[in-house]
Chain A
Amino acid sequence: MKQYTGTHEWVELRDGAAYVGISAHAAHELGEIVYVDLPEPGAAVTAGEPCCELESVKAVAEVNSPVSGVVDAVNEELADSPEKAGEEGVWIYSVSSPVLMDGLMSEAEYKASLE
């Protein structure tokens, strides 16, 4: 089940690892994504801090990690098909032994926050 940040990232726990992506709302606001600066596997990420960048034609958006931990894997598919980072449910990186940030929202709460 996905949980959301106020800065439009989501995190989902699967088999003990946390998978991170951006919300459909964020993808829509950013426009077509043309480049993803993926984090390095093995890099430490801190909850609430920027850890990678998405670039659309017009803008750069930082992805703030919803979790602390160490990057376990990155979605290599995004290197050649960056536009997929904006598709519903597509993950960008995963974190092993994650510690979730405080104040994450359920999908219903997140959607209400966009109203």
Chain B
Amino acid sequence: MAKRTALYDAHVALGGRMVEFAGYELPVQYSGIMEEHRAVRTAAGVFDVSHMGEFLFEGSGAESALGALLTNDIRGMSDGRVRYSLLPNERGGAVDDVLVYRVNAEKFLMVVNGANVEKDAAHVVRTLRGCEFSDVSDRVSQLAVQGPASEAVMKALAPDAPLPQKYYTFLTDVELAGIKTLVSRTGYTGEDGFEIYCANEDVPALYAALLEKGAPLGLIPCGLGARDTLRSEAGMPLYGHELGEDIPVNEVGLDFAVKTEGREFVGRDAIAAHVPEYERVGAVVVGRGIVRENCVIYADGAEVGRSTTGTHSPTLGCGIAMLRIKRGTEGDLTADVRGRMLPLKRAELPFVKRK
């Protein structure tokens, strides 16, 4: 039985088409994926991402204890900074990919994928030494306001509230519509935007206020469908697609978040010893057609890997895909789409850059 977020009734009342995702009933779309996607690229959209999990790491040893679980180096972060990291397993694969928020030297918040909350918590309990850990996922709701008009939407909602100014920073105790929140300047769409954390009981009022104040600025409610097309255009990995327990973390194009020099952490030696065999690359479909995930990819007729994400790009008007293919692959790429061979052309990630 899927869980419901605190906004379930609001989604149904707004005409959201509900599907099960990450153990929750969430809207895949309201007005339509294309319209929602365009709203986020040109104005703003709001997403219920309350399925995401939130972990707290607290105590005097929090920085080093949490740091020993992460591929990225969190030493020396300033308070109010956010950092992306992988949560590696002992074999050098990824248990998850996460955002780490440094509240202060003795308190860190880690945001994890909804589908992985239980697995991640078990992994943390098994490997963490030297600080307190708590899983507050079931108490915390999260909204994402994304798009070029996001700042204007936030100002319309709370003209006097301070907002995080730089990308990947956050503020605690921000009062929005009379509700206490944590606000970060982060997102999963490739646009400017904010992610807002609050207590479950407060989120319906906050969501309603956002829709009301945001509507004149072009903000509409958006579902998981647009979230996926937006992150795909932005070239952002999705756990279970580009990342997984058996995909080495140094084969996924996230080297900026994998720091093996001068540190010890879970899986460090396995990562350092692994010579990358595969790489993550972007490709667009030449002509018509859509490559979905898990299509076999060929280079000059020889099998070189698979697609890990594939969809129609509403912005570009063509098929886009992320591929996991052998490093150093040359030649013309094609994808086997249910027996039809579609020609691909390599493309730089992200497919769509912020204006």
Q: Residues of A with Cβ closer than 8 Å to B?
A: 31-32, 34-35, 37, 53, 55-58, 60, 79
Contact = CB atoms under 8 A, between A and B. Distances in A.
B34 A32 contact: yes
A32, A56, A58 — most chain B CB neighbours (10 Å)? A58
B229 interface: yes
17 contacts: A31-B29, A32-B32, A32-B34, A34-B34, A35-B288, A35-B289, A35-B319, A37-B289, A37-B340, A55-B312, A57-B34, A57-B225, A57-B311, A58-B28, A58-B33, A58-B225, A60-B290
B329 to A, nearest CB: 26
B28 A79 contact: no
Contacts of B340: 37
Contacts of A56: 33
A9 B226 CA distance: 27
Contacts of B32: 31-32
A56 B32 CA distance: 11
Nearest to A36: B288
Contacts of A35: 288-290, 312, 319
Contacts of B225: 31, 57-58
Nearest to A80: B288
Given A31-B29, A34-B312, A35-B290, 7 more contacts: A53-B338, A56-B33, A57-B312, A57-B314, A58-B28, A58-B311, A79-B288
Contact of A34 (B29, B290, B292, B338): B290
Contacts of B228: 58
A26 to B, nearest CB: 14
Interface string B278-306: 00000000001110100000000000000
Contacts of A31: 29, 32-33, 225
A32 to B, nearest CB: 5
Interface residues of B, number: 18
A35 B340 CA distance: 14
The 4 closest A-B pairs by CB, nearest first: A34-B312, A57-B33, A32-B34, A57-B312
A60 B338 CA distance: 11
A89 to B, nearest CB: 20
Interface string B334-348: 000010100000000
Contact of A32 (B28, B33, B338): B33
B161 to A, nearest CB: 35
A60 to B, nearest CB: 7
A37 B292 CA distance: 15
Contacts of B229: 57
Contacts of A37: 289, 340
Contacts of A32: 32-34
A32 B312 CA distance: 11
Nearest to A53: B338
Contacts of A53: 338
Contacts of A34: 34, 290, 312
A79 B314 CA distance: 16
A55 B288 CA distance: 11
Interface string B194-238: 000000000000000000000000000000010011000000000
A56 B311 CA distance: 9
A64 to B, nearest CB: 15
A57 B311 CA distance: 6
